[in-house]
Amino acid sequence: MKIYWSVNNPGRWFLGCEDSRVVVRAVDEAVEKAADRAVEKAIDEAVEKAADRAIQKVVDEAVERAIQ
């Protein structure tokens, strides 16, 4: 069996034989979960970078005030 991308039903995967194709919901769910995890990871990384920049800004300002 092979996994096919549906032409007639965009966004769906099919597990198929030469004579028939059957929708495999597990594949759809796995793809959706992977996409959700990727988005969550991207958000986490963006928040972490923003926090790092904010901390660095506070440190830089404190150092500048200490020097003056």
Please count the structural domains in the chain.
1
Distance, in Å, from the CA atom of 31 to the CA atom of 35, rounded to the nearest integer, reads 6
The verdict on residue 16 lying in a domain is: no
The verdict on residue 14 lying in a domain is: no
Average pLDDT, rounded, for the chain: 80
pTM of the model: 0.55
pLDDT score of 37 more than 60 = yes
The verdict on residue 10 lying in a domain is: no
The verdict on residue 50 lying in a domain is: yes
pLDDT score of 19 more than 80 = no
Identify the H or E element spanning 23. Answer: strand 21-23
The verdict on residue 35 lying in a domain is: yes
Distances (CA, A) of 23 to 18, 29, 33, 36, 57: 14, 12, 17, 21, 52
Write out the residue range of the structural domain in which residue 35 sits.
Answer: 25-68
